[in-house]
Amino acid sequence: MYAPKGIGALYTKKGIHLEPLIHGASHERGRRAGTENVMFAVALGTACKLASAMDIEQTRELTRYFYTRLKAAYGDIIKLNGHPEKRLPNTLNISFIGSNGHDILDALDHVAASTGSACHSGLSSVSPVLKAMGVNDSVGQGAIRFSLGRYTTPDEIEEVLKRLSQIIPVVQ
């Protein structure tokens, strides 16, 4: 959402009690101790307001376009990880079967992509989330999560496809 790192929001169902993360004072409605970061909280609010104005359908269509172009170029070498429709509109998690996602990302600098969750970046094992989804290790090793942003353009998608074709040969 373009908020600063280190800030987040938690939505809980009414009546749910959560154990405090850090015990001590009663900040964050008793959920953690420590001084609240007002500046980051305001920034998160601003990011939420901007995100609510984002054209989600346009982003979803661009993500579909990216996947369609990848499938056309790589056929059965590409596997979509997750549901084709019931997923975040700006995120595409795919596996390049027979390839290593880390190796691909090393050659794709300046592209918003990851081989796993942000908290596990740098690890070469298959994401626990992908494993829980039933993705086997040989497919999961080639997994990459691409994230499209508010300002991502079709030209940028084409540039990523061009750069990918220099790393992984297109299937004819």
Active-site positions read: 119
- From first CA to last CA, the distance across the chain in angstroms is 38
Count the residues in the chain.
Answer: 172
Give the list of residues 6+ apart from residue 95 with CB closer than 8 angstroms, or none. Answer: 78, 79, 81, 101, 135, 139, 140, 141, 142, 143, 144
Given phi > 0 = left and psi -120 to 50 = alpha, else beta, which region is 6? left
Q: What is the DSSP letter of 23?
A: -
Q: Which residue has the tokens 């998160």?
A: 44
